[in-house]
Amino acid sequence: MSTFVHEALLYRDAPAYLAGTLPFIRDGLTAGAPVLVAVPRPNGDLLRRELGWRADQVTIMDMTIDGRNPGRIIPSVLHAFVSENAGRPVFIVGEPIWASRSAAEYPACVQHEALINEVFEQIDGAILCPYDTRALEPEVLADAATTHPVLVTATDRQASRTYADPREVVQRFNCPLPDPPPNAATMPFDCVDDLPDLRDFVGKHASVAGLVHDRMVDLQVAANELATNTIRHSGGAGIARVWTEAGHVVCDVVDGGYLTDPLAGRLAPPISSEHGRGLLLINYLCDLVRIHSRPGRTDIRIFIRNS
């Protein structure tokens, strides 16, 4: 039987953060369990100092780097750690939402937090997610209560009265994406023969926007995967658009398909499967992936930081 627990730690300052996280980490170490801390670097440094020599027994990651794209956290951070320690209980401190998260990133963060409950419901272990009550908006804290079955502070622990079904939360944040700017470059496509031109189209506009070569290639590969999915699974015809926005080069692909699986791109398919790796690759390559899908239309928007 699974003993999985997913908790939100509500803290207001460094002492409260330490009072909520250190006992959790030490409980894991005392039990001989693998412990992962994936939090923004300042909080990771704080925990490293307080843990002293025991910090060497903990895997510590900077969530602002490894989890910059919320869609990458489950496959690349959490599931990778669980798989590496298969058969053992795990203790994870994961902080995917911080004050400087952008409005574009936030819906994907909430969907990530909701889907944790489904992806890991059969494992033995616990994931503790800190939320800074002084820096985050009340609406963010309210959303934390819908995505975490248990809410804790340094001195209290209680069941969330507003916890909601993960798929309902995901659908609530499946919101329409803002329109691209009027000057967005546009290219229609409808067959495999168009893919080389599409890669050139994306590369040209990414280069003009100043994207360094390696990241330009990442954007080209990701856009190619999106267009390939459109051609293979969504009737063939789609529209690609490229523009710059808030320090990112953005590309999106709009087609007539309907993406119904909220876990697409967040979990690797079985080895025997010939499909299902495109969105996963895109999540690994990009700094943010936003998806809005409804019957007859899917818009997938990918972001790569221009720095």
pLDDT mean by block of 10 residues, the chain; 307 residues:
87 97 97 97 98 97 97 96 95 97 96 97 95 98 98 94 97 95 96 96 96 96 96 89 96 94 85 73 97 95 93
| Distance of alpha carbon 85 from alpha carbon 108, whole angstroms | 27
Q: What is the DSSP string of 37-59?
A: EEE-HHHHHHHHHHHGGGGGGSE
Q: Are 109 and 97 in contact (CB under 8 A)?
A: yes
* Tokens of residue 88, six digits: 């053992």
Give pLDDT, residue 139.
98
Give the contacts of 243 (CB within 8 A, at least 6 positions apart).
180, 181, 183, 184, 185, 205, 249, 250
Give pLDDT, residue 154.
87
- CA separation (Å) from 276 to 115, 263, 280? 18, 10, 7
> Residue type for 61, please?
M
Give pLDDT, residue 255.
95
CATH says 5-172 is which class?
A: alpha beta
Our measurement of the distance from residue 132's CA atom to the centroid of its chain's CA atoms, rounded to an integer in Å, reads 19
Helices (H), 134-245: 138-147, 166-172, 195-208, 213-233
Parse the chain into domains and list their residue ranges: 5-172, 185-305
Q: Is 300 helix (H, G, I), strand (E, B) or coil?
A: strand
Give the contacts of 288 (CB within 8 A, at least 6 positions apart).
68, 69, 70, 71, 104, 105, 108, 248, 302, 303
Give pLDDT, residue 47.
98
Q: How many CB atoms lie within 10 A of CB 300?
A: 27
Give the contacts of 185 (CB within 8 A, at least 6 positions apart).
201, 205, 241, 242, 243
CA R_g for the chain: 20
Q: What are phi and psi of 39, to 5 degrees?
A: -140, 165
CATH says 185-305 is which class?
A: alpha beta
